[in-house]
Amino acid sequence: MLSDLGFEVLQAEHAQDALRHLEAREGIALLYADFNMPGPMDGCDLAHAVRVRWRETRTIVCSGEAALLPPKAYVIVKPCAERGLRRSLLALRFSRDCGLSPTS
């Protein structure tokens, strides 16, 4: 879905892989992570690490079990339709970056 919305998508197998992508490339605008990730870090741990080191990178954590997520996390409950993802991206002020508008 993100590529359909104009994003270049880099996939990571686990949190450490995602951190390597961020270290290797400047200007990654968005981290979209699943809460349940293989390895010692879950999606919220990854989002926190990214916010600390790459403050300009926005983060969204998704989960099929919203009850597991901390109350202050910006989350999308799975399954998520493209329209819900668009609303979330707009809320994070991605409208100018990827050509979205509130009526999309």
Maximum pairwise Cα distance, the chain: 40
| Residue 17 three-state SS | helix
Structure-block tokens of residue 70: 């901390």
Number of domains in the chain: 1
Domain assignment of residue 100, yes or no: no
Q: Is 102 part of any domain?
A: no
pLDDT the model gives residue 18: 95
Indicate whether 104 belongs to any domain.
no
In a domain, 30, yes or no: yes
Q: What is the CATH number of the domain that holds 9?
A: 3.40.50.2300
Within-domain flag for 59: yes
Domain that holds residue 25: 3-95
Does the residue 15 lie in any domain?
yes
Is-above-0.85 flag for pTM?
no
Cα(66)–Cα(97) distance, rounded to whole angstroms?
28
pLDDT, tens digit, 9 for 90 and up, residues 4-25: 777 888 999 999 999 999 999 9
With a cut of 50, which residues of the chain have pLDDT below it?
95-104
d(C-alpha 66, C-alpha 14), whole Å:
20
